[in-house]
Chain A
């Protein structure tokens, strides 16, 4: 039996599937975030050293994970689109970018909110903070490049080249920043020094990470649906869809 791998690589057949998947993953995201936040706020014990302020990690750490992971996913789809010239891959890449930028910003913002009571400063030029900031710039560059190109096919391909160059650069950026920082100031502040975590804290964080993951899938699929409608607006099936829902 041959599996029809490419059935869902056409926007027409993927569109309804994306709608269903987005609904399900959206619901899962709500449940997981609800459970995760409940564990974070009510079940997890107060930290002996950091007090209540540590509870921001339930947002912060999953957001930071997602921000990096989503860039890889985005580059994967972009590369796939560049290699096989598939329409949908480019749409997925541009659908993921805003969510990735959102999580990067969220990680930076919550990190700075956490830094003020804990480190006594909103911002330090720590290696992780700096590379996260540069990651945000990379997302912005990707989105700005796509926004500046009118022809969607060229936008997809140009964005793909940029995303792939960015992926090659991310490890170089991370290590150069890390090295630069250790050269200048000792590791006065380090995220890795945190005391070993209570099991409930870890559970809360992992549940939240799944929640963010499901949210990313749902948001990216919803956005991909909009992009599909916009780009395929001349086609028959979009016209049918428009008539059906009107």
Chain B
């Protein structure tokens, strides 16, 4: 079974590597959205410092949203998904592997680039680590919850807008806790509580979301 998982992850990463423009689009979207905020609210450093974690988190939310539609779409189009449904590996495990690969492609780059963007917002250096860590714990949760939405909207018309309507309300706790981590660290409360909560959410989502997404996939494909 582990071999099958490794195979799914390897395949998805290889596909992404062969079409690296998809990965770059999401990353560029993230960078551009974050860069738009100072243009919108003005370049006052004090204001930017306050809104930095929130802005970066909201942008990460939207970027991960953008990448979600592709999670199952191409596999659905070429019939691979049906083979996965029929395969001997439990579908939940396959979904978990796909979500992991999806996170490596769409979430991890955001985590890695977030400290640079935070510097643009003049965030103090000791907060960069907390922000990156909160994103590293939070973006997998976004991918996991998003997988359910992506599975439910598979092959529907108006998929993109519908997907955001379904998934964004469910993202709220991650956003609140994730953006709260850096803010709490800034106000000398320490972001530990938020990071622990994010970790808890991650474990919870990792346990249940692939299973729910598998149920949703079966409904969408049958």
Contacts and interface: CB of A to CB of B under 8 A. Distances in A.
Interface of A: 134, 137-138, 140-141, 144-145, 148-149, 154, 157-158, 161-162, 164-166, 168-169, 172-173, 176-177, 179-180, 183
Contact of A183 (B152, B157, B180, B215): B180
A148 B153 contact: yes
B156 A148 contact: yes
Interface string B171-202: 01100110010011000000000000000010
A145 B153 contact: yes
**A-B pairs with lowest CB-CB distance, top 10:** A176-B173, A137-B169, A180-B176, A157-B219, A141-B166, A176-B176, A148-B156, A172-B173, A141-B165, A158-B152
A172 B169 CA distance: 12
B108 interface: no
B168 A137 contact: yes
A161 B165 contact: no
Contacts of A161: 148, 152, 212, 215-216, 219
B92 to A, nearest CB: 14
A141 B169 contact: yes
A159 B211 CA distance: 16
A208 to B, nearest CB: 28
Contacts of A138: 169
A176 B204 CA distance: 15
Contacts of A177: 172-173, 176
A176 B173 CA distance: 6
Nearest to A142: B166
A2 B216 CA distance: 37
Instruction: Decide if the interface of chain A is mainly helix, strand, loop or mixed.
Output: helix
A157 B215 CA distance: 9
Contact of A165 (B177, B212, B219): B212
Interface residues of B, number: 28
A169 B170 contact: yes
Nearest to A134: B169
5 contacts: A161-B216, A162-B166, A165-B170, A169-B170, A176-B172
A157 B162 CA distance: 17
B158 interface: yes
Interface string B138-159: 0000000100100011001110
A51 B114 CA distance: 52
Contacts of B183: 183
A177 B175 CA distance: 10
Residue in A157, A165, A172 with the greatest tally of chain B CB atoms within 10 Å = A165
Given A158-B219, A180-B180, A145 B168 contact: no
B220 interface: yes
Contact of B172 (A148, A154, A173, A183): A173
Contacts of B145: 165
A149 B173 contact: no
A158 B216 contact: yes
Nearest to A178: B176
Nearest to A158: B152
A144 B184 contact: no
Nearest to A172: B173
